[in-house]
Homo-oligomer: A and B are copies of this chain.
Amino acid sequence: MTASVHSFDDAIALSRDELGNFHGRTTPAYRNMIGPFGGITAAVLLNAVLQHPERLGEPTALTVNYAGAVPDGPFRIVAKPVRTNRSSQHWIVEQWVLEDGQECIATTATVLTTARKATWAGSDIPAPLTGGPAAGITPLRFAGVPPWFEQFDMIPLTGAIPSQWDGQEHSDSTSRLWVRHAAPRALDYCSLTAACDVFYPRIWLKRALRVPAGTVSMTIYFHANQAMLDSTGTGYLLAQAKGQEFRDNYADQSGQIWSQDGSVLATTHQLAYFKE
């Protein structure tokens, strides 16, 4: 890695072999507590589709299933266009890793890419605020957190990580924050994907208890076209997520990502495991 390569581009870098397999590897910059940050795994699976010579159109929907641990080291991605229509294409993607010397699937994804045209546009989810962080506000720097946190500038607005793990239940599990790459990098579909997973587990906020928890499935609907990505550039994103139901080891959340000027870039949902 040379100084000119952004840590994000380094983490999602792939090479393609003569059989059409994509090869990548985990990087220390995006380590989470166990394995890589889920957002970087989602981004690298999407990147395999984006790099595929048969791809038609831009990312429109993505579902990623975190099926097993991704160990430090190399991995292989198989991205297969299973159905190509006139203006849409459906993909099945698998991430294979080595576990005890045996290759197995760690992550699966389905991707929809489409050639979109301008249509009537409207929204039922106006941005709760616009304009970026208030003047003089600097990103939070956390102590004792996994490396991936340091790759992002985050400015919590509501629903910050509880400062006291006192088990006092919260009526509302909404978090809202400004977020961008810590080292400037223009937004693209891969980094928008990663931004959809910057939220800490909703169960921690809901219960003010730090129980073991982790994402098992995440879905993203991409609303941003290339012009909207370009106009967002290196600016902050407004990211919001709210827990919905918490029961029997699993909880889901619903989220939205807006640009600084209030455009909806993506909506996202996820299901997370929790213990106890």
Interface set of A (CB-CB < 8 Å, partner B): 60-61, 63, 65, 67-68, 82-83, 85, 88, 90, 92, 94, 104-106, 108, 110, 112, 114, 116-125, 169, 171-174, 206-207, 216-217, 219, 221, 223, 225, 242-250, 252, 254, 256, 264, 267, 269, 271, 273-276
Contact = CB atoms under 8 A, between A and B. Distances in A.
Contacts of A83: 67-68, 104-106, 108
A14 to B, nearest CB: 21
B105 A108 contact: no
Nearest to A242: B124
Which has the most chain B C-beta neighbours within 10 Å: A117, A122, A124, A243? A124
B114 A250 contact: yes
By secondary structure, the A interface counts as strand
Contacts of A172: 124
A271 B118 contact: no
Given A216-B61, A245-B267, A264-B244, A206 B124 contact: yes
9 interchain residue pairs of minimum CB distance: A67-B83, A116-B248, A67-B90, A63-B63, A245-B264, A121-B247, A221-B252, A61-B217, A223-B245
B108 A244 contact: no
A217 B112 contact: yes
Contact of A248 (B82, B117, B123, B219): B117
Contacts of A247: 119, 121-122, 223, 225, 264
